[in-house]
Amino acid sequence: MDPEASLKQTVTHLFDAVRYHNIAEGLEEGARGAESGLNSELDRLDAYTKKLLDDLESMKDGSGSALDELSAQVRDFLGTAKEQAEEKLRRKAKEQVEEYRGRASVERDKALKSLESYLAVDPLPIVENIVQVKLGKGIYEGSSRYDCEGGIKYEFRLAPQNSRLFHQQLSLSLLGYELKVPVRFSHVPLKKDRVPGFERLDRYVLERAETSRGKMHATFEKEGDGARMKVVTSGSAPDDFLSLEYTDQTVTVNVVNDPALAAFADLAMVRKAMGELASGLEELGRKKVALMKFSLDGGGGALKDLDYGKVLLLILKTLAPVYLPVVETISSELKGKSEPKGADALGVAFIKEKLKLLGDLSGPASKELGISS
């Protein structure tokens, strides 16, 4: 991504994610405050009721007089009044807590969606990207995993149903390939020669596949008898690595490692088919649906527990070599000139306005960007 576009992506979507998260945290604090306030009010009610009961007790003379009878009646009334007051306090506190937490949930969703929008355009330097599909209950499930600089890892769920290849169960025959793979030799009666026995790979269904930088790992399964074909390639060029392994209930054969079998295999066509499959997976990798996982330095944890501030500062530190020259350029261009026209134009004033939204993080973020706060 263009450095200037990447910086703008960061100070909009990523900053927004932090801002929404901070709002959610404030609302959660409000909910905890409402719960704590309820306990304090109940304690005050208990203390006040106890004082009144003690006063009533001191008024009794034990003679069964009208005063004793009145004291008993007031005691009963006070007990009922206390129960009603407690119920009212609890109901009010519950409504407040639910309101706070409902609003916090909305802000957390907005934070996650902003983080999704940020990551969806691949803004970080990617060390490795693995796109995978797996067949389950007749449909494919897809995911794209990213390992980025700075120890940042994340994973998106993909939409195979919207892809060219994986919207239905895939066999290579659907791609126009009629691949026969030799997996055994048989003796012909009355002859000394052996003849190869072939499996029609194009009749197998793709069970799972993954690709990274053109490398392919794919497993095909033959419906009905459980025979499987595993194909591994490092690319589609003639000299690229290729492994072709057949397994059924009785035997496992690596076709490429057996020169006699390999002589009858159309390995070039297998590489070509796997290259097309890899291209289909790379195309699928652009059909992101939702962020499923995010971690820093190999750590796990649920998305709802993300420390957005830590995420922001690590990303800014990781991208500092890219962003600092951009900030320096737009700062030097400003000397004696006005800010770029347009409210959303990337300029120092625009970045500073966005930094203000970060609260306590505005100072550390400004430092990472080389901007005076």
Task: Report domain extents, the chain.
Answer: 20-102, 126-289
Give the per-residue pLDDT at 59.
Answer: 65
Mean pLDDT over residues 315-324, rounded?
Answer: 93
Q: Render pLDDT for 231-256 as a digit per residue (tens, 0 to 9).
A: 999 887 788 899 999 998 888 999 99
Cα 337 to its chain centre, rounded Å, is 42
Rounded CA-CA distance 179/165 in Å is 18
**Which of 67-71, 140-144, 301-305 has the highest mean predicted lDDT (pLDDT)?**
140-144
What is the overall mean pLDDT for the chain?
87
Tokens linked to 349: 């004033």
Asked if pLDDT for residue 86 goes beyond 90, the answer is no
pLDDT at residue 336 above 70?
no
- In this prediction the pTM is 0.80
Q: Rounded to 5 degrees, what angle do the CA atoms 183, 189, 195 make?
A: 25
Sheet of strand 215-221: strand arrangement: 252-254, 242-247, 228-233, 215-221, 205-212, 126-136, 139-148, 152-158, 288-296
Give the confidence band of 40 by pLDDT, cuts at 50, 70, 90.
Answer: confident
Q: Is 130 helix (H, G, I), strand (E, B) or coil?
A: strand
Q: Answer yes or no: is pLDDT of 272 > 60.
A: yes
pLDDT of residue 194: 78
Is residue 355 over pLDDT 70?
A: yes
* pLDDT at residue 94 is higher than 60: yes
- For residue 208, the model assigns a pLDDT of 96
pLDDT category of residue 345 using cuts at 50, 70 and 90: confident
User: Which of 60-74, 106-120, 174-188 shows the lowest per-residue confidence on average (mean pLDDT)?
Assistant: 60-74
Contacts of 286 (CB under 8 A, 6+ apart): none
pLDDT band at 197 (very low <50, low <70, confident <90, very high): confident
- Per-residue confidence at 39, pLDDT binned at 50, 70, 90? confident
Residue 35 or 156, more confident: 156
